[in-house]
Structure 1
Amino acid sequence: MIRRVTHVTIYVKNDDEALAFFTGKLGFQKKMDSSMGPGGPRWITVSPPGQSDFELTLLNPATWLKGEEASLASGQIGQQPMIILDSDDIDGDYRTLKAAGVTIDLGVRDLPWGRDLIFRDLYGNRYNLVQSKPG
């Protein structure tokens, strides 16, 4: 029986710049950065501080895949489905993201169920940061 989701993959163009964006601009923690052999791909995962049950995998298709499969996956960079993130201080997170130079598509807005904002990563993938109302 399927029990839980543990990883979601984000396709990236460059391992180092993706890792720097997620750790430096978003404040995520690096969970894993392992070479899969000499000159081979790297297994890189990150997650928000304190989250131990879920990780984003930063995967460079050019190093992991070959031929048409690599080309198809590379074409999905910046086109992946929106990921929803949880916040306990959306106004503070907005200021931090803006100061870090993160592209904000939609600033903080009030909604019936709470507040949210939408931003993009360095490749154009969209993220919805949400702060739910208490209760």
Structure 2
Amino acid sequence: MIQAVTHVTVYVKDDDEALAFFTGKLGFKKQSDSPMGPEGPRWITVSPVGQPDFELTLLNPSTWFKGEEARTASEQIGRQAMIVLASDDIEADHRALTAAGVTVEGPVRDLPWGRDLIFKDLHGNRYNLVQSK
């Protein structure tokens, strides 16, 4: 039986830029960065500091896939499903994201279940940051 979700893949255009964005601007911790063979792509994962058992895999389709598969996957960059992240202080996170130059779509919203905001990574993928009541 399925026990847990451990990794979610985010397609990126550039390995180094994506790693720098997630660790430098979002404060994620690098979990791994290793080559997958002598000529292979890099296996790069990052985690929220408070959740080391969950990793985002930063995957560059142009290095992992070939031909049509690479083109099709690369077209999904910036259009992937939204990932939901948790906050314990959304106002402070909003200020930190803005100060780091992260694209935040609008202000923090008050909703019946709590508060949220939407931001984008450097390649246009969208994330929903939520703080539950």
**Superposition TM-score, scaled by structure 1 size:** 0.96
Residue 10 of structure 2 corresponds to 10
Moved more, 75-84 or 37-46: 37-46
Q: Which amino acid aligns with 1:107?
A: P
Deviations 1:71-93 (A, max 9, x none): 11011011101100000010000
Residue 131 of structure 1 corresponds to 131
Deviations 1:55-109 (A, max 9, x none): 1000011111111111110110111011000000100000000000000113211
- Could you say what secondary structure the match of 1:56 adopts? strand
Residue 42 of structure 2 corresponds to 42
Query: 1:101 and 1:8 mapped to 2: Cα distance?
Result: 24
Deviations 1:7-53 (A, max 9, x none): 00000110000000000000000000011122320000001102122
- Could you say what secondary structure the match of 1:127 adopts? strand
Aligned residues: 133
The within-5 A match list for 1:107-118 is 107-118=107-118
Query: 1:56 and 1:112 mapped to 2: Cα distance?
Result: 29
Matched, 1:26 2:23: no
Moved over 4 A (4+): none
Return the offset for 1:2: 1.1
Query: 2:107 and 2:56 mapped to 1: Cα distance?
Result: 24
- Could you say what secondary structure the match of 2:116 adopts? strand
Query: 1:111 and 1:63 mapped to 2: Cα distance?
Result: 41
Q: Which runs of 5+ in 2 are unaligned?
A: none
Q: Which amino acid aligns with 2:7?
A: H
Q: Which runs of 5+ in 1 are unaligned?
A: none
Residue 122 of structure 1 corresponds to 122
CA RMSD, aligned part only? 0.8
- Could you say what secondary structure the match of 1:27 adopts? coil
Matched, 1:59 2:62: no
Query: 1:34 and 1:3 mapped to 2: Cα distance?
Result: 26
Identity %: 77
